[in-house]
Amino acid sequence: MKVSYPAIFYEEKIGNYTVFFPDFQQVTCGDDLADAEFMAKDCLSLLITIEKEDRHKIPKPTPIEDLDMHCIDSEDWEYVRAFVKMIEIDI
């Protein structure tokens, strides 16, 4: 079964990416966009596996139009741009 969740990608000044899953309140990162996408899939797979093993209800994906792109803004952290990408995995 395939599932798809929105992830907010933040490109940092040095080229790294931080990826935030608002539905799970979890973050991962990557050295570049391809690495960040790979890490996002791995992270999402792990998050869903843990929820299932702990018998927790898996949250429904938030519609993209309802996301707050600045939900993890901080005065100590700057990013170049932010965008949303749906991350799909097979569970």
The whole-number average pLDDT for the span 12-16 is 93
Does the CA dihedral 72-76-82-87 come out positive or negative?
negative
Whole-model pTM: value is: 0.90
Checking if the pLDDT of 8 tops 90, the result is yes
CATH number at residue 53: 3.30.160.250
Tokens representing residue 34 in the block: 């391809």
Place of tokens 């965008």: 83
3-state secondary structure of 85: strand
Give the angle 15-19-23 at the CA atoms, nearest 5°: 165
- Our count of domains for the chain comes to 1
Checking if the pLDDT of 77 tops 90, the result is no
Range of the domain at 51: 2-90
**In the chain, which residue ranges form alpha helices assigned H by DSSP?**
33-53
For the chain, what percent of residues have pLDDT higher than 90?
A: 76
